[in-house]
Amino acid sequence: MNFNVKIFADGADKAAMLELYAKPWVSGFTTNPTLMRKAGITDYESFARGVLSAIPDRPISLEVFADEFPEMERQARMIASWGDNVYVKIPVTNTRREPALDLICRLSHSGVKLNVTALLTLAQVRDVSQALGGGAPSCVSVFAGRIADTGVDPVPMMAAAVEMVRMYPNMELIWASPRELLNLVQADRIGCHIITVTGDILKKLDLLGRDLDDYSLDTVRMFYTDACKSGFTL
């Protein structure tokens, strides 16, 4: 693969994370409480410390799970203490739509590496970037896939976000929640720094550059083979 955008694997299956750790093109890892719940994780700290022990030299984003800002801050500082490669994920707001900007600014300027998550608007990118500017290394995660789910083309918005973040040397923009392999190409094309990629999409990487006539034939063969296996008759 010849991409400038960095690929971060998104998931919470430790075995899968370690398998991807062996891939030199995987530059980092992200997870969140929803992925951890799907993976059946019940002991947050044990899981996190186990992953950090096994993967000590690539960025790993671990998210707080509180809704009150003082508790978010306590959790963030604890999580950050678990490793130099930790980026603490802070949601852009709490569940009451209260912006986390003051907390983000305070943590970042006290040296905590952050990954501010769940952004979906350019106004959020602007405000979060200003809060993080001049602080510790940080990431801004824009959920481009969720933007696309609403029927809006995320590419122009992500391109604008790249320009917003460009003026802050301590910051990287993440194309989060991709829906298809094309998003990797799109993120690279607009100069996005990072894209988070799930295992399902990573499995499609071998299709990059595939001859479309050959791919068409494989599709026809798939339909025929499955019809034969089903024993269909008319």
Helix (H, G, I), strand (E, B) or coil at 195: strand
Rounded to 5 degrees, what are φ and ψ at 34? -65, -45
The conformational region for residue 209 under phi > 0 = left, psi -120 to 50 = alpha, else beta, is left
Q: What span, in angstroms and rounded, lies between the C-alpha atoms of 202 and 162?
A: 24
Identified catalytic residue from 38, 89, 113, 203: 89
Q: Output b/e per residue, 97-111; b: 16+ Cβ within 10 A.
A: eeebbebbbebbeee
Q: What span, in angstroms and rounded, lies between the C-alpha atoms of 189 and 19?
A: 28
Closest CA to 95 of 127, 129, 123, 72: 72
- 89 as an active site residue: the answer is yes
- Per the document, the length of the chain is 234
Residues assigned a catalytic role: 89
